[in-house]
Structure 1
Amino acid sequence: MKPFRVRLSIIMMILIGVSVIVAGYTMGRVFKTTHTTALEQTMVREINLLKATFPFHDATDPTSAETRKYYSDRAGELEKLTDSRVTFINRDGTVIGDSESDPATMDNHLDREEIKGAVGDGYGQSIRFSETLGEDMLYVALPVNSDQSDMVEVPGGEFDGYIRLSMSLAAVDQGLQRGWLIMFVALGLLFLIVALVSYRVARGLTSPIEHITKVAHRITKLEYDARVEVTRRDEIGQLGLAINGMADSLQTQLKTIRDNEALLQSVLANMAGGIVMIDASQSIALVNREAERMLGIQSERVTGKPYIELKKHYELTRTIEESVAVQERMHEEVSIFNPEERLIRIDGVPMTEDDGGYRGMLFLLQDVTAIRRLESMRSEFVANVSHELKTPVAAVKGFAETLLSGGVQDKETERSFLQIIYDEGDRLNRLIGDILELSKIESKRAPLQCSPVHVHSFFEMVLGTLSKVAEKKQIRLQMFVPEELYIEADEDKMKQIFINLLSNGINYTPEGGRVKLQVTVEHGEAEEQVVFAVSDTGIGIPKKDLPRIFERFYRVDKGRSRNSGGTGLGLSIVKHLVELHHGKLSVESELGMGTTFKVILPLIQDEEI
């Protein structure tokens, strides 16, 4: 803004200077014209006075020396009186007398402007440069006729021609020059005064504008807290108030936009589903955090690039391509690998503007792998339950039909059939009970009822329950439990855990074998833990089956498991009950050498449980 202030000051000085110069020039012209006119009128009066009082001599022979001498002498006398050059000119333009030059050497003056103008009763005047005197001269001529009635008669005198007076304009020019000098001095002083005044005026005008401009520049740089300090109430002050109002409005709108953007970004970042937006140019416009995780990509690397950048997920890219081509809603499930296989449900929706213009496609990605796996497990569970229920029901039905038909006459055979029906019914009852128990545990309808449990007494009771079964197979039960150890747990659910584990050890250990229970306390970084190890000398579990033994209805040896009376749900129940206690369950086994199940439970349960 400073150059503008200087330019404004210069413009003001130039305007004033031009005005003064024009005014001075005009005044000079008026001065010169007025002074010249006054001289003309004076010279006219002087000529009229000469016409009335001058003693004219006979001038019928203008070329005679006597005539020229007479008029030249008289012209010289008159020049001293009028301070003007006097010239007598005959009617034919011949100069017969002059106060400064010899008439004989002078040209005919009939064609001079002042002579032409003096024809008749008027007077003529002209201003021109005199070659004789070398300066500008004012010439005034009047016609004279010595025989006219208004003139004084001079005996023997006769003159018919012109009297011309001329005066140098040097005095006028000198006065004009003094005027110009005075004007230029005044103009210089005026320039100094105007420079100071105009600078102060320009500064008063431009300073608030500079301040407003700086504030406007700050606002353009997104500094919306910048404000104009309004100190005046004129138009500039109103402009400052308008700038402040605009900044307030922008700041409010920007805050709203940022809040909405932050909310939108938070929603996109925390959505459980992935979002991929493809714009009208088929480039990736938006990828949220969940989509990055699902697809193994980074938003900043793919945004703005063609969706073909997702080419490593072939099925996904193909589906997007088909959807973008038809620009219609779509629903499909595809498989991706990142790094393991995932099943992704894609819902595509075309985005349109208010006027119906196409803006691109929005795709919602949902990982349905767990849902489909759960559905598969549910189907498998129903199939397994149906199969497990069908076997005892078929046995009961078959033996009952045989007995009802009267086909068995032997009492021993009949008793054997009835025992089979009883055993299958008992197995069916245990299967249904295990299914209901597992269902309650998985649906969180079996909360823990924790209380202090004396571990040594607890396992004496459990082993006492299983001792008769172990004695039948001549299996030794060993227990190594600290005497004073207490644990906070649900005693009934602990009983289910260890009866299942110890029963499995007894069932899958050959006669004469051993089942051992060992309890130790470990001091972890965050809390104390109790480690329960149930080991046997049984047939062991093949390594390929170890990852799946906690699945429902999974059996390593289906024929042997059914003969042992197992339902296939025991270890699954154990796994869920251990997790319900915030514990860990693991297994180690070697084929033909035996198996060890290890249960780790916290000594004290979390108060939130």
Structure 2
Amino acid sequence: MLLSFRARLTTIIISMVALSVIASGLLMLKTFEENHINVLEDTLEREMRLIAAQMDWVAGSNEELIDYYTERAIKLQELTDTRVTIIKSDGTVLADSNYNPREMDNHGHREEIIGALEQGLGKSTRSSDTLHQNMLYVAIPVTNTASDETYVLRLAISLAEVEQSISSLTVVLVVGLLILFVVAALISYRIALGLTKPLEKITQVAKRIKNMDYRARVEVKKNDEIGELGNAINAMADSLQIQMTRIRENENHLQSVLSNMINGVVMMDSQGSILIMNDRAEQILGISASKLIGRHYREIKQQYELSQLIMEGFETRKHIHEEITFYYPEERLLELNLVPIYQTHGTEFSGILLVLQDVSAIRRLERMRSEFVANVSHELKTPIAAVKGFAETLLGGAVKDEETAKAFLEIIYDESERLNRLIGDILELSKIESRRVPLILSPVNIAQFMVNTIAILEVSAHRKHINVNLSAPEELYMEADEDRLRQIFVNLLSNAISYTPEGGKVEVRISLTEQEQVRIEISDTGIGIPEKDLPRIFERFYRVDKARSRSSGGTGLGLSIVKHLVELHKGTITVQSVVGKGTTFILELPIMH
């Protein structure tokens, strides 16, 4: 584009110079020719005035006059180097220095003759019929003093010399014009290059800016109009770069917020087309955003109730809050908020913002909280009712029976102990769940630690003739809170002993995994846990066999406390069990924290 512009600009400049030179040359040639002819005319006029004054005029017949004046005309031609002609007023030629006047036509109609007779001076430039070349004719009227007749004296000179001069001048002008053309072409190209080269750079920068390269800048070398244009382009690029940087930062911030939100966000325009959909919304709806962006919300075919709510939102254009159950891609309870979006000071409806929140866990926690309160109430009610009942019996007179009073008091003591353990476990679990139990980490020799822990429960195991076997590598240390670690294994071993029949066996195996974690397996040959109960055994107050659990003095909180303490140690606990054959608890704890 700019190369074409440069060529056009160069052509225009050369054309203007050429036209100017040609016009000047033509004007110069015309002026030169006119000035030369005017000089010749003045010269011829003076010479004719002089001839007319010095001429001897005679009278006679035409034949006599022709002979006389022809002789004079020939002599005058030799003196003036011009063609001399004498003509009567009626156009008859009396003498001519170059041609026989008797054979010449009547000259009364010639332009210079008419001009001389009418105006006193006649001039004409034309091709001579007799000499066949361009001639300049000048004529004046003269009076024959001998016969009082009016003659016309005419001098003619060839214009060949003038034409030769003009031809020479034309050649000079043409050569000069060609030289000027070359110089003008070079100068004009230089001028065009000086104009278009900065424009080329500006155009290149403008294209780079159009292609979003906002770092492109014009190198300004002059403070002329093109330099001002370059400065304007640079200022525009600076402004665009700042604005685009801000826009990108805002987009990145918005994208980061949307991508990391725990709630699903879907934004639709006033026509119902989906504009924005974050990652969480993809997970909740089970549909990729790439399949929905730009499409209508009705294409969310798996969720009919959701489509109906969105349709209601577009119809009412009011805030809608609902909870609905989704069954795809999995069953969950969702809280929906449909918020209408308005622009232009809240007058122009521009779409709807849908916020999806998975409240399944919240509702499950609320249910667990309710169950926990109910379970606590139930667990507290049983020992309190026993204490109250036996106390009332004693107050009613049973205290006088020493054996009965002693038995009742022992029951009251046991129930109060059970109540104390229950309250203690509840407080302990509450502290652990609220992360108010700091871990005091120290190196623990796991083999020696487990020997000491088993020793604590040796009496209970011996009472049921249960062997507790330990298999552990020597000198294996791990970083842990020794008191909390003991609490974990006392609970697990107590359960293993409690739910293993007499004569059974409990095994503790300790090993080091490839991931450099300590793996501890506690297996028993007890009654086992049904498969349906395995996912829930770590819940608070959950019991597989409620009657036996109460008879064993358990509170139903032990395994829940164990799970929380294992998680505080950044470890994991799993369980495997077969009814009638036994149960295995598997713990994996990091060596270092």
Q: TM-score range by the shorter chain?
A: 0.7 to 0.9
Counterpart in 2 of 1:570? 558
Distance 1:121 1:522, change over 3 A: closer
- Counterpart in 2 of 1:194? 184
Shift of 1:119: 3.2
Residue matched to 1:137: 135
1:128/1:137 contact within 8 Å kept: yes
Quote the residue 2:282 is aligned against.
292
1:85-234 matches, cutoff 5 A: 85-103=83-101, 105-120=103-118, 122-146=120-144, 153-154=145-146, 157-232=147-222, 234=224
What is the rounded CA distance, in whole Å, between the counterparts of 2:228 and 2:590 in structure 1?
77
RMSD: 3.7
Equivalent pair of 1:515/1:537 in contact (CA under 8 Å): yes
Is residue 459 of structure 1 aligned with residue 454 of structure 2? yes
Candidates 223, 245, 264, aligned match of 1:274: 264
Is the CA contact 2:496–2:506 (under 8 Å) kept in the aligned structure 1? Answer: no
What is the TM-score when the length of structure 2 is the normalising length? 0.84
Q: Is the 8 A contact 2:83 2:97 kept in 1?
A: yes
Name the SS for the 1:365 alignment partner: strand
Instruction: Please say if 1:369 is aligned against 2:370.
Output: no
Higher mean C-alpha displacement, 15-24 vs 317-326: 317-326
Aligned to 1:307: 297
1:600 Cα offset (Å) = 2.4
In the aligned structure 1, how far is the partner of 2:124 from the partner of 2:475? Answer: 145
Question: 1:490 and 1:42, CA in 2 relative to 1: closer, same or farther beyond 3 A?
Answer: closer
Structure 2 counterpart of 1:319, from 309, 315, 321:
309
Unaligned stretches of 5+ residues in structure 2: none
Can you list the C-alpha shifts for 1:371-407, whole angstroms capped at 9, x where unaligned? 2211121122222223333444455556666776789
The alpha carbon displacement at 1:418 in A equals 6.5
Whole-angstrom CA distance in 2 between matches of 1:437 and 1:460: 24
User: Is the CA contact (8 Å cut-off) linking 2:335 and 2:358 kept in structure 1?
Assistant: yes
Q: How many residues of Structure 1 are paired with residues of Structure 2 in the alignment?
A: 585
Matched, 1:481 2:470: yes
Is residue 398–residue 404 contact of structure 2 (8 Å, CA) maintained in 1?
A: no
Identity %: 50
Match for residue 379 of structure 2 among 376, 382, 388: 388
Residue 189 to residue 565, structure 1, CA distance change in 2 (3 Å): closer
The CA deviation at 1:598 is: 2.0
Summarize deviations over 1:207-253 as a string: whole Å, max 9, x none: 44444444444444444444444545555555555554544444444
> Distance in 2 between the 1:66 and 1:396 partners?
188
Structure 1 stretches lacking a partner, 5+ long: 147-152
Residue 198 to residue 485, structure 1, CA distance change in 2 (3 Å): closer
Structure 2: which amino acid aligns with 1:30?
A: T
Q: Is 1:585 the equivalent of 2:573?
A: yes
| 1:578–1:599 Cα contact (<8 Å) kept | no
Structure 2 residue 524 is the aligned partner of structure 1 residue 535:
yes
1:235 and 1:582, CA in 2 relative to 1: closer, same or farther beyond 3 A? closer
1: distance between equivalents of 2:497 and 2:255? 59
Q: Report the Cα distance in structure 1 between the residues aligned to 2:33 and 2:283, rounded to whole angstroms.
A: 99
Instruction: Look up the equivalent residue of 2:14 and give its one-letter code.
Output: M
Quote the Cα distance in structure 2 between the aligned partners of 1:493 and 1:347.
44
**Aligned-partner SS, 2:130:** coil
Q: Look up the equivalent residue of 2:124 and give its one-letter code.
A: S
Q: Does structure 2 conserve the Cα–Cα contact (< 8 Å) formed by 1:56 and 1:158?
A: no
Is 2:19 the counterpart of 1:21?
Answer: no
Matched, 1:438 2:429: yes
Contact persistence 2:575–2:584 (CA under 8 A): yes
Q: Does 1:600 align with 2:587?
A: yes
Structure 1 contact 28–176 (Cα < 8 Å) conserved: yes
Note the alpha carbon deviations across 1:498-549, whole angstroms, 9 max, x for none.
5544554555455xx33423222212113252524241343x3332222222
Contact 1:47 1:165 survives alignment (8 Å): yes
Deviation at 1:72, TM superposition (A): 4.2
Contact conserved, 1:527 with 1:602, CA < 8 A, in 2?
Answer: no
- Do 1:523 and 1:529's aligned partners in 2 also have CA atoms closer than 8 Å? yes
Q: Deviations over 1:287-329 (max 9, x none)?
A: 2333333333444443333333433333334333333444443
Cα-to-partner distance string for 1:569-589 (whole Å, 9 max, x where unaligned)? 333333333333444433333
